[in-house]
Amino acid sequence: MAVMNVNPTRMELTNLKRKLVTARRGHKLLKDKRDELMRRFLELVRENKALRLEVEAGIKQANTHMALARSVMSDEALSVALMMPAQKMELDVTEKNIMSVIVPQFRAEVKAAKDGEIYSYGYAFTSCDLDDAVLALSEIMPELLRLAEIEKTCQLLAAEIEKTRRRVNALEHVMIPQYEDTIKYITMKLDENERSSTTRLMKIKDMMLQEAHHYQ
């Protein structure tokens, strides 16, 4: 029995009963929060797995085209071709609240001198594989940003799930049993004191009757 070190009084009993009600309500709310966080976490994990496969395939394709381009172009020609990008990307980072967890949201805005232009070089002295590599990287960029957003969100949700789980376990296995055992202990002590008081009153009544009526 995990009994708290408190005075066995009626006021303390009332306080502990109120704390027990609050602890049970908090336990239920935290369990609901943990379950909802787990549901959203698993959804994101499934999306993350599919998105990672897609991004890795896109990066592999871009690397393959880049390797072919490097095999037919000199390093100097490649550096000159990629020296001045045709597009400028600005990343806007905002925040979103998921069950009291602040997670990031990434939104990229691409600006170019000409709409849809992604090549910063002429086609006369470059390989078509370089075009394919740049195109593959350009197409995979939105998925890459979404993947980064999901992975950071999963990391934050996992930390919050672990924290919530520890709180639920502390309430369920430590605090609530302590309150219940202490309430039971105080109730027993108060009942015992009440029985003792009743016995003393009955004894005093008998003594008073003996004095009044002079009987043994």
16-66 per-position pLDDT tens digit: 999 999 999 999 999 999 999 999 999 999 999 999 999 999 999 999 998
Fold adopted by 10-207: Helix Hairpins (1.10.287)
Return phi, psi of residue 3, to 5°: -100, 135
3-state secondary structure of 214: coil
Q: What is the pLDDT of residue 105?
A: 92
Evaluate if residue 87 carries a pLDDT over 90. Answer: no
Looking at the chain, the whole-number percentage of residues with pLDDT higher than 90 is 48
Q: Above 70 in pLDDT, residue 214?
A: no
- pLDDT for res 51: 94
Residue 68 contacts by C-beta under 8 Å, 6 or more apart in sequence? 127, 129
Banded model confidence at residue 213, pLDDT cuts 50, 70, 90: low
Please tell me the predicted confidence (pLDDT) of residue 116.
Answer: 60
Q: What is the pLDDT of residue 34?
A: 94
Cα separation, 184 vs 177, in Å, equals 10
Is the pLDDT at 1 greater than 70, yes or no?
no
More confident residue, 154 or 122: 154
Counting beta carbons within 10 angstroms of the beta carbon of residue 208, is it exposed (0 to 12), middle (13 to 18) or buried (19 or more)? exposed
**80 pLDDT more than 60:** yes
> In angstroms, rounded to a whole number, what is the distance separating the alpha carbons of residues 46 and 201?
73
34 vs 116: CA distance, rounded Å: 45
Write out pLDDT tens, residues 97-153: 998 899 999 988 877 766 667 777 777 678 888 888 888 888 898 899 999 999 999
pLDDT given for residue 108 in this prediction: 85
* pLDDT score, position 216: 55
Average pLDDT, the chain: 86
Whole-number pLDDT of residue 158: 95
Q: State the DSSP code for 121.
A: S
CB 58 within 8 A of CB 136: yes
